[in-house]
Structure 1
Amino acid sequence: MPKKLKNLLALAFIFTSLIIFAQQPAPSQKVKVSGKVIEKLSKQPLEYATITFMSAKNPKALAGGITNAKGEYSIDVTPGIYDVKIEFISFKPTEIKQKSIQGNIDLGTTALDEDANQLNEVVVRAEKSTVEIKLDKKVYNVGQDMMVKGGTVSDVLDNVPSVSVDTEGNVSLRGSDNIRILIDGRPSNAINIAEALRQIPADAIDKVEVITNPSARYDAEGGSGLINIILKKGKNQGINGTFIASTGLPETYGLSANLNYKTEKLNYFTTAGYNHRTNEGGGLTNSEYFNTDGTPKSFLEENRDTKRTSDGFNGRAGIEWVISPTTFWTNSINYQKNSGDTRDLINYNSFDAAHAFTNSSFRLNDGNTGSQNVEYASNLIQNFNDKGHKLTVDGSISRNTDDSNSLITATNDFNNTLNNQVQKQVQFQADYVLPIGEGSQFEAGYKGSFGDLNNKYYVLDDQGATIPRLSNTLQYKENINAIYTQYGFKVNKFSYLFGLRWEDTNIQVNLLDTNVFNTKKYNNLFPSAFISYEISKQSNFTASYSKRLSRPRGRFMNPATNYSSNINIFQGNPDLDPSLTDKYDIGYIKRWDKVTFNTSAYFEDTKDVFSFVRSPTGEDVNGIPVILSRPINLGKEQKFGFEFTLNYTPFKWWKLNSNFNLYNVKTTGENSYTDTNGVVVTQNLDNQANSWFARINSKLTLPHKIDWQLTGMYNGPQNTAQGKNLGQFGMNTAFSKDILKDKATVAFNISDIFNSRIMKSYTHLEGQTSYSEMQFRKRQFNLSFTYRFNKTKNEREKQAPKNENNDNGGEFPG
């Protein structure tokens, strides 16, 4: 830790100790004025409302502040008589005249009315993205960020601190893909979550919450944390919306609309988007094979060229009904449909031990896919008062289908694969919150999740007959019931939150074609604890613990063989057990005028961790051994890491934010398999590796009000139990300009400027070593046009402090 930072921490602790033991302030010292600001109609808190204290004789502002996420404020002022003005954009201000303030005082709750006239006259302006760093999570307010203009949820997530998205669309948090993705607080029910995220336009997203250590309120699943994607619902009365049209290279185009119509009692919201995408990729694998004495036996070069096209539609419509000033009922329907084609060509060149060319062959995979997801969701909120006493009830039902088939043509072979998946999901959840006295809160709730997945997968030979060893029908049923309770309270500058969650799981994994039936039943307790200390108004310290669970899902469980390559194949493992993780996190937040610094150290201890292992099958194709990759419960994994986020605004026209994550992973375990001679071979998979991830984002306002954004990211190299993954660098850039009196925006962005986001790795197996490169998506160019009507400037940008980084030190870290 830098010496200057140590000195600042020491001074902060000394200052805090003096405050704790000090006497009551003398009349000449400042006193504390507190209160709360809400919207009169909905009773919802108004974040970033401004409170200004003015002299009764002089209208000049003498003191002031803003509200936090709960609409609360606490401001230090000198004793005296003030005119107090409370205001928020698009709302009628309230003023308290000649208020005598001689000691600590609570002004109570102030309810503001919407100002219809101001709404009609407001100047439309592009919204900007901001990052709020809170004690338990980072909140990324999406706004109209030019880097994701015309993009999708996947593009948004790739700009969020601590989160990264690879070129195939897989999401990871702090370097781990063992996470849970929520949409509006509910788990996504899509079979292919990566593809589902690509179907939701970026403009439909309000904010993204990154929760690295969730409390008992959340599902226990997701060993490394949760990502909650919150979709937009308009807040202003009348009709307003946004239209976005985009086009790009390779051939890509799309059109999306986000519309909202709000009356005093009803709020109608809808999002619809269509996109056509072309992804060009490729790769290579160079393998060397050895004799039993270690001398070279042969060489194989594989060159892959891939082109994927897809057409997707995403639609969402809903109604929020204000039944009474304290009761709100929201219903929505989500629909996604996607179809696509894939052309994957692999050319093989074989060489003998002296590396002399012997022969060549090819394998062409022509496939098409189709998916359809439908979900109905309902949410009821009953507020019993404006102090946070409420009951929330959520329910959803969904049906998702995913179909694909491929025609595989090889030099001396011909196959056809058919895959059909149908998933049904029903969820119900109830959450109760009861504030108790000053600074204390009790919560309790129940959640039931009931799912059924049926997956038929067949591989046909050149005569159209099913190949039994490569085909099967999987039936997966999962029923989970959970209850939780937690209690939070505040004592002086310390805040505490303790919780306990219990989950009962009943899973059936049935292979219908081979009559293999497997039932897994287990229940677990998941405790959580959070402590925060407010060192000062500008700095906080936190410590937290939670127990997490990871259930094997999707391709991890499915025994169907991925047959895109006939020498490197993948197969799921239906006998996988869940893994359990103990998570510890220590964090520190410090804010200056232009800088916000957030750092944390974390430790994760996981048992029965999932790991992919590669081993020979005993078969060969034209003398080349066939390698099988499959997941197993490896044993134990311990991960220790350090992360920091730094946001710096050196000038009004220049903003910098960066994220750095360094971690060490130690795995312990072994894998056994039977080789071609019937001998049991045991692989020692013990491994210890360091890796790191860094991202820096710069936003500049150029002359003529042109905004320029540049983002660079790097994934460090990492050793694995069977080889090494090499480092990966990428850089994106974007330009945007507001036009048509700021009602429209033109944006141009380039993804992967240097075409460098390539996954490179070495693999070492018995009798074989390989070097591989894979690029799922090459460099892309995108041009977009956004038009807004009757839409106000983002309230957060209008009212937030200039450094755009705010935390709510008084909130319970849940």
Structure 2
Amino acid sequence: MISYNATAQKQPLNISGTVMEEVNKNPIPFATVIVFDTDTNQSVTGTTTDEGGKFNITTDALNFYIEISFIGFETLKLTTFNIEKNQLDLGALYLIQVTEALDEVEIRAEKSNVEFRLDKRVFNVGKDISSTGMGALEVLNNVPSVTVSIEGEVSLRGKSGVQILIDGKPSILADDPSNTLGTITAEMIEKIEVITNPSAKYDAEGTAGILNIVLKKDEKKGLNGSISLNTGIPDNHSVGVSLNRRTEHFNLFAQLGVGYRSLPRDSKNSNQDRINNTTVNSEGTAYRNENFYNIILGTDYYINPLNVITLSGNFAYEIEDQPSTTDFSSFEPSSVLVSQWQRKESTEATNPKWQYELQYKREFKDNEDHTLLFSTQGRFFGKDQESEFVITPVFGDDDFNDQQTETQFQQADYTFKLDYNKPFSEKVNMELGSQYVINDVGNDYTVRDLIDGEWITNPDLTNNFEYNQKVFGIYGTGSYEGEAWGIKAGLRIEMTDLKTELTNTNEKNNQNYTDYFPSAHISYKFDKAISLAGGYSRRIFRPRLWDLNPFFNFRNNYNIRTGNPNLEPEYTDSYEITSIFAFNKISFNTGVYHLYTTDVVERITYFEDNVSITTPENIGTSNTTGMEVNFKYRPSKWLTFNGDFNYSYFIRNGEFEDQSFDFNGDKWSARLTGKFNLPADFELELTGNHQSGFQTVQSEVSALTFADLGVRKKIAKGKLVINFAIRDVFKSRISESVIDQPEYYLYTWNTRGRFFTLGLSYGFGKGEAMTYSGSRR
């Protein structure tokens, strides 16, 4: 071995150089440079290269050699030097890529696999998926417990409302997955994290679960995009364009959408007064016709491999027309028809919406999971609505007044978050963070009656409701995860300041409270395929605006819904034990859970003069114990089954206005989806759903069974896709309930009917063909 012996050296030696790739001459950031003692072969000092591949290091060693290394490259060893005046300039140093090692990595990653982590499961995307040209939604559909319908609806363990993150950050791209994830393909995805029981790190408000899509750091180049055309019966027509341009430092994305849709709803109601032996029946159809326009613009700016800033915005505008026609019949004792009339609604509204997000994420050199994330988000929704209700007598001489309503609504929401994650080792991790949320709402609601040809404001039904809620939260978690055992515990503290006011009557309700939300997880891995996990978390349901606002819905003025400004939050302690099995062709989860809820929010109906008024109230406690099973089975390449089953037994205890609401009951639901890969690149999807009947504090809700069907045809290796779907094939998705009391009887029936949709989508670049549905946010 040749080394430099600097026996005459009296000052420290300064060593510098630049590390680069041999093939493309690009600099290599964060390469390791170590100075070794020649006699002992022990390291003396070391450093890493900066973003430009440069390094500078000082040593007092007299007899040394240098090694330079980076993952995926051969280690470079330097033993001969030319030193002048205590300066050693090594110049450009080229590392050779290790092709053999890369081949080995590809073999190990040939097949996608699932890792069981303490509080989540990690689906690593292997070559079997990344090389097929799949899109992000198709990759999600390969993840155990995740189901994506042919129309792009994502559900986790059979539940919708899943929060989707990209690289651990909320993203406008994930707000409507079927619209915007079309620009992300399988080869860009490194892994997908599945979180079914969120820890104290996440909001204490309930969620169906979280999916985090982690992108590869080297898959950020290229132009991706998709164009789609949609049509349907009832009217559902749209055009959408999605673009995504990735460069070394920028990720630019944009989406434009425009369309028209009509959402009909048929309803029947019967109100029977058993004291006076009178009945009012109603039957009608209501529509929500909308023209909508939507634009999304945003960019990720990669300052360097460790720092990224994201800025994005979304603006949407909707023009609504809501016509409805309801026929009423009034009966006296012995079912004698007294009168008939028709009530027609004409409603027009405009809805401006905007949203912005600014995020900064920093990774640290010591560990890719050592991160700091700051984000701020703003949302605004406005509604300027006018309605007129005209009464046309058909039979009898009852005198009814025409009515008008006017609504001016504005809602602004702001969220500020700071999250810090610090791994102390491969087994020990810490998370710290805070969040501040502001909700500011105003709803000015006016009702007018036509009396003697003049519109007169009804002071009993007119109000201006102001709602302001601020929630500040801080959290901390710590975890240990070994080869078999793992444990994680955390605590979240949230301080809520809620103010509501009816300005017309000066009615105020101020609530200020602090809550503690602990969480705990424990897991044990029997092997790579079988895992057992237990978890506990405390959750909260805060009454939303429409739960608190005592507005009146006049579409059917014999069946009115209103809010309760005195409503308090409900709290749930959630316990669960789950077992997870993942084998070659089948994966399934089984679990048992128990939920204990206090101050349960229930909707209570009051009845007087054949008018039912439904409002939410806090009533007692609920103990719910249940079991859940879901599975994914792929017996062959052309056939896949997804199934979910949930059964729960509940005990309700409560008293309200001297009436006992103690009762027991149960309910269950099941879903089975079959996906068939047919010849000529056709795909068929059939889904059957059943929800059992169940009891609430006042009503009996009927069971319902319905089916959906979808067909997809891929052309040009999936770049062009044709979708056809039928929702509620047999028109059996009917919501039906009965309230049977000694003083009155109420029957309610609703359905949206059968929907047909047809879509044509084309993806270019690395983009996947997708469907722009323009779904409501």
Tell me the equivalent position of 2:157.
161
1:760 aligns to 2:740 (yes or no): no
Tell me the equivalent position of 2:251.
267
- Counterpart pick for 1:448 among 436, 441, 450: 436
1:783 aligns to 2:758 (yes or no): yes
The 3-state SS of whatever aligns with 2:153 is helix
Return the letter of the residue paired with 2:418: A
- Counterpart pick for 1:401 among 382, 385, 396: 382
Shift of the 90–214 alpha-carbon distance from structure 1 to 2, 3 Å rule, reads closer
Shift of the 272–183 alpha-carbon distance from structure 1 to 2, 3 Å rule, reads farther
* Contact 2:183-2:225 at 8 Å conserved across structures: no
Q: Percent identity?
A: 27
Tell me the equivalent position of 1:551.
542
Tell me the equivalent position of 2:236.
252
* Contact 1:387-1:435 at 8 Å conserved across structures: no
1:605 aligns to 2:589 (yes or no): no
Return the letter of the residue paired with 2:760: F
1:128 aligns to 2:138 (yes or no): yes
The 3-state SS of whatever aligns with 2:671 is strand
Shift of the 530–217 alpha-carbon distance from structure 1 to 2, 3 Å rule, reads same
* Contact 2:538-2:571 at 8 Å conserved across structures: yes
* Contact 1:200-1:314 at 8 Å conserved across structures: no
1:238 aligns to 2:222 (yes or no): yes
**Distance (whole Å) between structure 2 residues aligned to residue 331 and residue 279 of structure 1:** 34
Cα displacement (A) at 1:64:
6.4
Tell me the equivalent position of 2:682.
706
Cα displacement (A) at 1:396:
1.5
The 3-state SS of whatever aligns with 1:537 is coil
* Contact 1:711-1:732 at 8 Å conserved across structures: yes
The 3-state SS of whatever aligns with 1:464 is strand
Shift of the 313–198 alpha-carbon distance from structure 1 to 2, 3 Å rule, reads farther
1:61-80 superposed matches below 5 A: none
- Counterpart pick for 2:360 among 363, 368, 380: 380
Cα displacement (A) at 1:327:
0.7
- Counterpart pick for 1:731 among 707, 728, 746: 707
Return the letter of the residue paired with 1:253: H
The 3-state SS of whatever aligns with 2:369 is coil
* Contact 1:557-1:576 at 8 Å conserved across structures: yes
Return the letter of the residue paired with 1:264: E
The 3-state SS of whatever aligns with 1:469 is coil
Return the letter of the residue paired with 1:548: R
The 3-state SS of whatever aligns with 2:543 is coil
* Contact 1:204-1:271 at 8 Å conserved across structures: no
Shift of the 570–182 alpha-carbon distance from structure 1 to 2, 3 Å rule, reads farther
Cα displacement (A) at 1:469:
1.1
* Contact 2:159-2:208 at 8 Å conserved across structures: no
1:486 aligns to 2:477 (yes or no): yes
1:774 aligns to 2:750 (yes or no): yes
Return the letter of the residue paired with 1:406: S
The 3-state SS of whatever aligns with 1:562 is coil
Cα displacement (A) at 1:204:
7.7
- Counterpart pick for 1:329 among 309, 322, 335: 309
Return the letter of the residue paired with 1:664: Y
1:717 aligns to 2:717 (yes or no): no
* Contact 2:183-2:767 at 8 Å conserved across structures: no
The 3-state SS of whatever aligns with 1:614 is strand
Return the letter of the residue paired with 1:684: S
1:419-568 superposed matches below 5 A: 419-462=407-450, 463-568=454-559
Return the letter of the residue paired with 1:436: F
**Distance (whole Å) between structure 2 residues aligned to residue 536 and residue 382 of structure 1:** 34
**Distance (whole Å) between structure 2 residues aligned to residue 286 and residue 233 of structure 1:** 58
**Distance (whole Å) between structure 1 residues aligned to residue 311 and residue 408 of structure 2:** 30
Cα displacement (A) at 1:312:
1.8
**Distance (whole Å) between structure 2 residues aligned to residue 90 and residue 580 of structure 1:** 42
RMSD (Å), alpha carbons: 3.6
- Counterpart pick for 1:213 among 185, 189, 197: 197
Shift of the 199–286 alpha-carbon distance from structure 1 to 2, 3 Å rule, reads farther
1:73-88 superposed matches below 5 A: none
Q: Describe the superposition over 1:660-714 as per-residue Cα deviations: whole angstroms up to 9, x where unpaired.
A: 1111222222222xxxxxxxxx332223221111111111122222111111111
Shift of the 533–160 alpha-carbon distance from structure 1 to 2, 3 Å rule, reads closer
1:654 aligns to 2:639 (yes or no): yes
Return the letter of the residue paired with 2:411: Q
**Distance (whole Å) between structure 1 residues aligned to residue 753 and residue 708 of structure 2:** 12
Q: Describe the superposition over 1:284-333 as per-residue Cα deviations: whole angstroms up to 9, x where unpaired.
A: 123333237xxxx1333211222221122232211111101111111100
Cα displacement (A) at 1:54:
12
**Distance (whole Å) between structure 1 residues aligned to residue 128 and residue 309 of structure 2:** 26
Cα displacement (A) at 1:406:
1.2
**Distance (whole Å) between structure 1 residues aligned to residue 333 and residue 153 of structure 2:** 49
Moved more, 392-401 or 468-477: 392-401
Return the letter of the residue paired with 1:128: E
Which of the two has higher C-alpha Rg?
2
1:642 aligns to 2:641 (yes or no): no
1:667 aligns to 2:664 (yes or no): no
**Distance (whole Å) between structure 1 residues aligned to residue 640 and residue 551 of structure 2:** 49
**Distance (whole Å) between structure 2 residues aligned to residue 308 and residue 793 of structure 1:** 31
Q: Describe the superposition over 1:352-385 as per-residue Cα deviations: whole angstroms up to 9, x where unpaired.
A: 3322333212222221232222111111111012
| TM-score with structure 1 setting the length | 0.73
Shift of the 204–561 alpha-carbon distance from structure 1 to 2, 3 Å rule, reads farther
The 3-state SS of whatever aligns with 2:546 is helix
Return the letter of the residue paired with 1:555: W
Shift of the 665–643 alpha-carbon distance from structure 1 to 2, 3 Å rule, reads same
Return 5+ residue gaps in structure 2 as ranges.
1-50, 53-70, 73-97, 118-124, 393-399, 770-777
Return the letter of the residue paired with 1:660: F
Cα displacement (A) at 1:200:
6.0
Tell me the equivalent position of 2:720.
744
Shift of the 131–703 alpha-carbon distance from structure 1 to 2, 3 Å rule, reads closer
| TM-score with structure 2 setting the length | 0.77
Moved more, 562-571 or 356-365: 356-365
Return the letter of the residue paired with 1:606: T
* Contact 2:413-2:440 at 8 Å conserved across structures: yes
Shift of the 202–220 alpha-carbon distance from structure 1 to 2, 3 Å rule, reads same
Cα displacement (A) at 1:766:
4.3
1:360 aligns to 2:340 (yes or no): yes
The 3-state SS of whatever aligns with 1:162 is coil
Tell me the equivalent position of 2:38.
none
Cα displacement (A) at 1:183:
7.2
Cα displacement (A) at 1:203:
4.7
Tell me the equivalent position of 2:372.
391
Tell me the equivalent position of 2:63.
none
- Counterpart pick for 1:696 among 668, 672, 693: 672
**Distance (whole Å) between structure 1 residues aligned to residue 335 and residue 623 of structure 2:** 42
Shift of the 333–364 alpha-carbon distance from structure 1 to 2, 3 Å rule, reads same
* Contact 2:182-2:225 at 8 Å conserved across structures: no
Return 5+ residue gaps in structure 1 as ranges.
1-39, 47-52, 73-85, 92-117, 149-154, 165-170, 174-180, 190-195, 673-681, 795-814
Return the letter of the residue paired with 1:163: K
**Distance (whole Å) between structure 2 residues aligned to residue 130 and residue 54 of structure 1:** 31
The 3-state SS of whatever aligns with 2:680 is helix
Q: Describe the superposition over 1:418-452 as per-residue Cα deviations: whole angstroms up to 9, x where unpaired.
A: 11111122221111111012311011001111221
**Distance (whole Å) between structure 1 residues aligned to residue 248 and residue 255 of structure 2:** 21
* Contact 2:109-2:127 at 8 Å conserved across structures: no
* Contact 1:441-1:487 at 8 Å conserved across structures: yes
- Counterpart pick for 2:321 among 341, 357, 361: 341
**Distance (whole Å) between structure 2 residues aligned to residue 187 and residue 791 of structure 1:** 23
**Distance (whole Å) between structure 1 residues aligned to residue 447 and residue 722 of structure 2:** 48
* Contact 2:352-2:381 at 8 Å conserved across structures: yes
Q: Describe the superposition over 1:757-803 as per-residue Cα deviations: whole angstroms up to 9, x where unpaired.
A: 1101111234211222111x221111111101111679xxxxxxxxx
* Contact 2:275-2:744 at 8 Å conserved across structures: no
